[in-house]
Structure 1
Amino acid sequence: MWVRKLLAQKSFHLPWLSYRSGGGNPVGSAPFDVRPSVPCPRGQGGATVVIAGLVWLASLAGVIASDGISIELIDHQDLSATAIGFGGQYKVGHWTPVRLRLKTGAAACRGHIVLKTHDSDGQSVEFVQQEEVSLAANEERSVVGYIRFGSLESQLSVGFQTDQDRVTRVYQRVSDLATARRSTDPLVVVLGGELPPVTTPIQAGPTKLSYAAVAAAEMPDRWHGYEAVDTLILLTGQLSAFDGVTQPQWSALDRWVQLGGRLVLSVGRNGAAVFDSQHPLARFNPGQFVGVRQQAETAELESIFASSEQLSAFDMTAIRNPQGVVEVSIARGNEQQAFWVRFARGMGQVDLIAADLGLSPWTSWSGRISLMPRLIDGLSAGRPRKGLDMRVEKLAHVGYRDIVGQLRGAMDQFENVRIFPFGLVAALITLYALLIGPGDFFMLRRWLALRMQWTWLTFPLLAILFCLLAIGLSRYRDQGQVVVNKVEIIDVDTQSGRVRGTTWAQLYSPRQAQYDLSLTPSGRLTTDENAEVLMCWQGLPGDGLGGLGSPSTNRLTGKAYEVSFRSGGQLRGLSVPVASSKSLSVRWSAKVSAGSESQLVADRRHFLRGEIQNPLNVDLVDAVVLYQNSSYMIDGVLRSGQVVSLNQLSHKDLRWKLQQRVVVSNRDVSTQWDPEDVRPGHVPRILELMMFYGAAGGESYVDLTHRYQSYVDLSAALRTGRAILLGRCHESLSDLSDQQKLLSADANAHWTYVRVLFPVEMQQP
């Protein structure tokens, strides 16, 4: 009998043992729960030790005698790749690749990789990977999973889920395995070699521009694995560095660029091999390959990049008739050769440097101090603004320093949800305390002249009265309805026939409930049944409560919800507390038939001429055409298929429009931007600056960064030979559902903006 009591009340501390749990509900590789036990009868302590040993041996035998599958992060001593992120670095709040090693025993098995951590709100979340993994007996294989960490001090659980059970291993501190970086820190990744760091002398003080050098094995095989990368630099001086890169990895790289990524391609002595039609990098050739030449005339480069040091001769790839914009050209005899070409690919940008930046003489030339920051788009060497650091520090109290945080603050207010001020709540609590204390005493003894025994009746009556008041106020607050605020930006590239969607949703739940959420693009926009949808929680880029930069996050108990890649991007079992909201973000892409009859030509002054057509099946209001530094307003509603002649439209300076400048006393004055304004009516203005952040003046005007989800900014497309038709749509172009029930119909508010990218031809002289 005492043995049964002992086994019922005690368990044993096995913190190091990877475990197997049945039914797909793992206990964890943390210690088993140890609870106080009744004292053992005298003389039975030895029996306790024996039983503990038997249980330990049985547990160990269970692991060894099972299928024998094990899962762990790849060894940190493996020089071919790092386990997490890029070059041992990752950014919180972004999709991050995690590299794992699987090993089976005597039996074959099949299942899914499951990665578990906490989101920025402290809720447990599981990321169930898309593809099923099949392993033969005694097989060892490396696989890659994708996860989004919610804090700088995250925990990671890696598991292999079969139909019957799950094998799991827990890593308590991810920061011990890789360097955690803030969500808005710049991350520049170099593939194919290494670049020496550059110290840039700017007004605020010297800034070190460093890079994360990675091996080819670290290239993700899914495009969203690059989400944390601000700029990817490919060095082709040593082509052997790309040996072993698979076709899915090349496809993921190209897909990331087309969906808004930034790629820098350095091609010098190996230009013939790189731009051969059979090489995977040939897709990034902006023109016609001519040959590789020795460039000895370097005086122009020394002047452009402000270097007093002479640049030695180098191998240069010659390109004829490049598309896009030639940022820098140098003379070779009587010809001008393109040295730096910037061109658009899809909704992304590619910069071609016709030299090997990873080889001599470039690695030691002092002109790199000017070249590299300009090439990486000024991430660490932007134009210094006087007083900017002081203004950013003043924003610390609002909890964010990125414009995405301002959007979230505006979306987290619901028109049909009434917020009771703290003063009212405090007054009711004070009134309740006064009534049940001195109020009850004076009412019974002084006013009603009753005995104090009546307090057994008056006290519960007062308690019930205030409970009913609280219930009534709660129902008055939100009418018991689920409310959704939704923002979506739809981008259509008419050249590639691809559409991408970015959706932010703020879901308010009046009661404690679980939701199974999914998002489906509207059939009016695309009929592609293979649309890829990525739904996940949305972080707050900042140091405030619940922010991604917060040093600590309160980890909540409860069952983890699931981010599934297998079923078209869903959140399953998402628990939202009573009278609380949850921030969500969705990225999706698909094919679209956006054939257009638009014919746009730009003259030497970069003014547009020709006709533009709305190629979508939706009408657009407040439509405007943007190109270079000009904007062309279209009056009224732009109907589906309607063609408008730009020759009849007046143009306005784009920065004037974005900064809402007006003329006062013969001086143009811009409307000051308030980064603390989170009124719901301010959402359209916030979105306008997010969509064209660089064209509006960037940080110098907004006083906030735009690095968390910077792919939304298409300012670069305006400078690479693209015109953009921007318009607002009255109807939502995606459906947010909970267990197949549409939530969009109950949405408190939604804002839908559409941007259509058109190619522009330059007028021949």
Structure 2
Amino acid sequence: MWRSNFSLLQTAILYNATVLIGLVAASSGIAASSIRDVQVGFDGTSRVGHWTPVRTVIAAPPESSVSGRLIVSAVDGSGIPAQYEQAFAEVPAGQEQVIWSYVKFGRVSSTMTVRLEGSDSETTQMEMSVEALPSDRQVVLELGSTLPLDDSLNLLRLRRDRQNTRDGNQQTVLAQSIESASQLPPHMLGYDGIEVLVVVASQQSLLQELAPLQRQAIESWVILGGKLIVIADTDPSDDMVDQPNSLFTNVLPGSVERIAMQRQTTEIEQFASATARLDSGAGFRLPMAILSEVDGVVEVGEGFGADRRPAVVRGMAGMGESVFVAFDISTAPFVDWADRSRLLAAIVNLVLSGGDTGGLQMRELVVANTFGFEDVTGQLRNSLEQFQGVRLIPFSLTATLIAVYLLIVGPVDYWVLKRLGKSTWTWLTFALTIVCFTGLAIYLATSWKGNQLQLNQASIVDVDLEERVVRGTTWMHLFAPETLMLDLSATHRSPVVQDVQNVLIWQGVPGEVFGGMDSNLASTTFSQPYQVDAKLKDATDASVRLDQFPIAVWSSRSLLNQWWGSCSLEHQVEQSLESHSEGQLKGSFTNPFPFALRDVYLVHERWFYPLRTELPANGTVRLADLSVMDLQTRLTRRRVVDGRNVMTPWQTADRDVSRILEMMMFFDAANGSSYTGLSNDYQGYLDLSRALKSGRAVLVGRAAESAAQLEIDGEPLSEEVIQHWTYYRVQIPVKRER
């Protein structure tokens, strides 16, 4: 049953500005040294609102072993404390064990508590301050420290600042490196806060330390939306050169066949916008990895005709992206090249989000944002906060009722009773007036703000038929008519996925908006922590639910449900799409699902193909029967007015959920940062704009049935109190016309 909690006046100071690191032993049974070390994120780097790995070293005292559970406490996006629990096996006496926990920080500045509870109820506790990066910061992580990432990202920042049109809200890209594989988490959730991972294959000693679970976690993270750059090992004298180059071959756009010498470097120099030649003279030779079975876009190639060798290749790996660089930037001749940082910046920019460059001409279209949010997820949140039958009581009505109340208890009461000669009745009429107005207030509150739980949810379900992988993202907004403490879990309802891993967690608001994660506001309503029941194992298995999750009276809470699994469609649907002149398509495509789709369209490169009718289950459509229009024209609702192309300004007050989801799905294709005046950094992994230029088309359609289901105490909500918007996207390979 749902449990109520009416302790609305409790307050809690959840964190402070000073560093507090202390060890407290609850009894003499566990020595204070049981928690030897705690490391947050990647060498201290974490992003607010994203899953963050916490590496804890537990040391058992010489005289006894240690077993039990590790509990990490941190505030969520509403400033309410949450506890993340991780059980661990027995640590033998005198030995150490590394325990990985995964948490989400809801404030850029907060206090984290790590508590070790022994099997015999003895505890050790460490408390420390955590400074997380804002959600709009993009972190580029390098394994090792052989590249000039700081200099390269500074160049990117300067370039983007010149192109940026969002006053006071410029994107920032930060570099971070780690020197040991032991700092890499063994579960894919640990990489959630990383935008791009850079691997230099020549760092063999570091790569050989990678455990199988770490490699699997990285590959799974890429397939589900991560971005990986691999710099080839091109040392021809290295007998093991094929091993590091093939370390992540499952997600790379090709495989290394051999190492060869390259004389020409003209395209590399042009790609880097170089100011100096890389070619140093007549005897110059550049060792390059020769790729076979290339499956991606050759961004840079050297040579001509059949002898052209791919030098930089970008490809899709499931919903993620990977870049293979066939030359080693960490060695000569690049280390002495003046434009090495420019080259690295150009490579990173291939996969970095928010790189649209069309902005200045759209600046006048950006309507002033009076709501305070800075990210498009903030607008989605505002839209999902509109519940059926739930209305805010306008201030004008409140003020009118107060004025009428004062008139009645004052001059009206005095005048009427005086005319009746019953002045002594004022005590009765005063009490009666209070009762009437109190009843009216209760009636308005209950009738206008609702008297039942309600749920609004929006889902984007991505399906890659080649990789046979499905990824679901569902935003759930739950409204409560009374203060409740709920046990929440989520299950999938999609018939296209099996072996599902399911994560239900809080969803925060990016930025400094009121209640946003960049603020330092704590909850004044709830001080007792709720439980995040996270069962994580191997590299990808996950089950996360929430216990005793608090919701205040007549308010709502935002949740994020992420789930993934393998595609359960029994037969491979044959898609026949071919690209011809100017990237336009010919052929046909098929709805691979056992259910109909409506509001269907197909996108590829810069073209948009709308379907005017419902697409039935397993139905096939010929491209020749469809009209075609420019994709950016569609996304910006451009139309012809008096002979001129006019874009429809983006309205931050717009609450059209479908329109907002469309923008999130193809944000960069719309030059979204410039067009909307917002960022798409918090959940930018949902943007498939670059897939459109990587030999893929994307089929989009809305389903009648929701793809995910929220359960309270194991029971689903009634369909009558649920509104949902559920969109499916299918990536379809496109052949190039020869």
2:196 maps to 1:231: yes
Partner of residue 516, structure 1 = 487
When the two structures are superposed, what TM-score results if normalisation uses the length of structure 2? 0.87
2:367, 2:649 within 8 Å by CA — same for their partners in 1?
no
Q: Mark the CA change 1:208 to 1:725 in structure 2 (over 3 Å): closer, same or farther.
A: closer
Return 350-359 or 204-213, whichever deviates more. 204-213
- Once the two structures are TM-superposed, the CA of residue 547 in structure 1 deviates from its matched residue by 0.5
Unaligned runs of 5+ in 2: 1-19, 164-170, 536-541
- Once the two structures are TM-superposed, the CA of residue 728 in structure 1 deviates from its matched residue by 0.5
Return 308-317 or 636-645, whichever deviates more. 308-317
Partner of residue 211, structure 1 = 175
Q: Mark the CA change 1:434 to 1:172 in structure 2 (over 3 Å): closer, same or farther.
A: farther
2:388 maps to 1:415: yes
Q: Which amino acid in 1 is paired with 2:643?
A: N
2:75 maps to 1:100: no
Distance in 2 of aligned mates of 1:720 and 1:205: 27
Distance in 2 of aligned mates of 1:504 and 1:753: 12
Q: Which residue of the other structure, out of 327, 330, 337, is the alignment partner of 1:358?
A: 330
Partner of residue 398, structure 2 = 425
Partner of residue 470, structure 1 = 441
Task: Give the SS at the match of 1:181.
Answer: coil
Partner of residue 575, structure 1 = 550
Partner of residue 15, structure 2 = none
2:107 maps to 1:134: no
Task: Give the SS at the match of 1:574.
Answer: strand
**CA displacement 1:87-133 (0-9 Å, x = unmatched):** 3211111111111111223443433332111112111111223x643
Distance in 2 of aligned mates of 1:440 and 1:360: 94
1:202, 1:381 within 8 Å by CA — same for their partners in 2?
no
- Once the two structures are TM-superposed, the CA of residue 338 in structure 1 deviates from its matched residue by 0.6
Q: Mark the CA change 1:437 to 1:86 in structure 2 (over 3 Å): closer, same or farther.
A: farther
- Once the two structures are TM-superposed, the CA of residue 572 in structure 1 deviates from its matched residue by 1.0
Distance in 2 of aligned mates of 1:464 and 1:155: 46
1:525, 1:733 within 8 Å by CA — same for their partners in 2?
no
- Once the two structures are TM-superposed, the CA of residue 416 in structure 1 deviates from its matched residue by 1.4
Distance in 1 of aligned mates of 2:364 and 2:706: 40
2:352 maps to 1:375: no
2:591 maps to 1:614: yes
Q: Mark the CA change 1:388 to 1:161 in structure 2 (over 3 Å): closer, same or farther.
A: farther
Q: Mark the CA change 1:100 to 1:288 in structure 2 (over 3 Å): closer, same or farther.
A: closer
- Once the two structures are TM-superposed, the CA of residue 404 in structure 1 deviates from its matched residue by 0.7
1:373, 1:380 within 8 Å by CA — same for their partners in 2?
no
Q: 1:627-642 maps to which residues of 2 (within 5 A)?
A: 627-642=604-619
Q: 1:49-88 maps to which residues of 2 (within 5 A)?
A: 63-64=27-28, 66-68=29-31, 72=35, 74=37, 83-88=39-44
Q: Mark the CA change 1:63 to 1:458 in structure 2 (over 3 Å): closer, same or farther.
A: same
- Once the two structures are TM-superposed, the CA of residue 458 in structure 1 deviates from its matched residue by 3.1
Q: Mark the CA change 1:663 to 1:635 in structure 2 (over 3 Å): closer, same or farther.
A: same
Q: 1:211-360 maps to which residues of 2 (within 5 A)?
A: 211-215=175-179, 216-269=181-234, 273=240, 275-276=242-243, 280-311=247-278, 312=280, 313-331=285-303, 335-360=307-332
Partner of residue 587, structure 1 = 562
- Once the two structures are TM-superposed, the CA of residue 309 in structure 1 deviates from its matched residue by 1.2
Distance in 2 of aligned mates of 1:629 and 1:564: 44
**CA displacement 1:420-479 (0-9 Å, x = unmatched):** 1012123323433444455555554x3343355x44433332222222112211221144
Q: Mark the CA change 1:734 to 1:278 in structure 2 (over 3 Å): closer, same or farther.
A: same
Q: Which amino acid in 2 is paired with 1:535?
A: L
Return 154-163 or 229-238, whichever deviates more. 154-163
1:195, 1:211 within 8 Å by CA — same for their partners in 2?
no
Unaligned runs of 5+ in 1: 1-14, 21-61, 76-82
Q: Mark the CA change 1:752 to 1:86 in structure 2 (over 3 Å): closer, same or farther.
A: same
Partner of residue 541, structure 1 = 510
2:657 maps to 1:683: yes
Q: 1:660-739 maps to which residues of 2 (within 5 A)?
A: 660-674=637-651, 676-679=652-655, 682-739=656-713
**CA displacement 1:268-321 (0-9 Å, x = unmatched):** 325874644995323344234232233343233223322221215543212134
Task: Give the SS at the match of 2:428.
Answer: helix
2:126 maps to 1:195: no
1:655, 1:696 within 8 Å by CA — same for their partners in 2?
yes
Q: Mark the CA change 1:274 to 1:470 in structure 2 (over 3 Å): closer, same or farther.
A: farther
**CA displacement 1:608-643 (0-9 Å, x = unmatched):** 233322122221012112222222223322122222
Q: Mark the CA change 1:163 to 1:231 in structure 2 (over 3 Å): closer, same or farther.
A: same
Q: Mark the CA change 1:101 to 1:107 in structure 2 (over 3 Å): closer, same or farther.
A: same
Q: Mark the CA change 1:115 to 1:616 in structure 2 (over 3 Å): closer, same or farther.
A: same
- Once the two structures are TM-superposed, the CA of residue 402 in structure 1 deviates from its matched residue by 0.8
- Once the two structures are TM-superposed, the CA of residue 417 in structure 1 deviates from its matched residue by 0.5
Q: Mark the CA change 1:170 to 1:431 in structure 2 (over 3 Å): closer, same or farther.
A: farther
2:717 maps to 1:743: yes
- Once the two structures are TM-superposed, the CA of residue 168 in structure 1 deviates from its matched residue by 4.7
Return 290-299 or 489-498, whichever deviates more. 290-299
Distance in 1 of aligned mates of 2:613 and 2:271: 46
**CA displacement 1:574-607 (0-9 Å, x = unmatched):** 1111000101111100112232122323235433
1:631, 1:651 within 8 Å by CA — same for their partners in 2?
yes
Partner of residue 484, structure 1 = 455
2:508 maps to 1:532: no
Q: Which amino acid in 2 is paired with 1:707?
A: D
Q: Which amino acid in 2 is paired with 1:405?
A: G
Partner of residue 494, structure 1 = 465
Partner of residue 44, structure 1 = none
Partner of residue 149, structure 1 = 105
Task: Give the SS at the match of 2:269.
Answer: helix
When the two structures are superposed, what TM-score results if normalisation uses the length of structure 1? 0.84
Task: Give the SS at the match of 1:398.
Answer: coil
Distance in 1 of aligned mates of 2:70 and 2:140: 28
Partner of residue 114, structure 1 = 71
1:318, 1:354 within 8 Å by CA — same for their partners in 2?
yes
RMSD: 2.9
Q: Which amino acid in 2 is paired with 1:563?
A: V
**CA displacement 1:160-192 (0-9 Å, x = unmatched):** 3456536352425213xxxx2111112111113
Q: Percent identity?
A: 31
Task: Give the SS at the match of 1:495.
Answer: coil
1:116, 1:126 within 8 Å by CA — same for their partners in 2?
yes
- Once the two structures are TM-superposed, the CA of residue 519 in structure 1 deviates from its matched residue by 1.0
Task: Give the SS at the match of 2:632.
Answer: helix
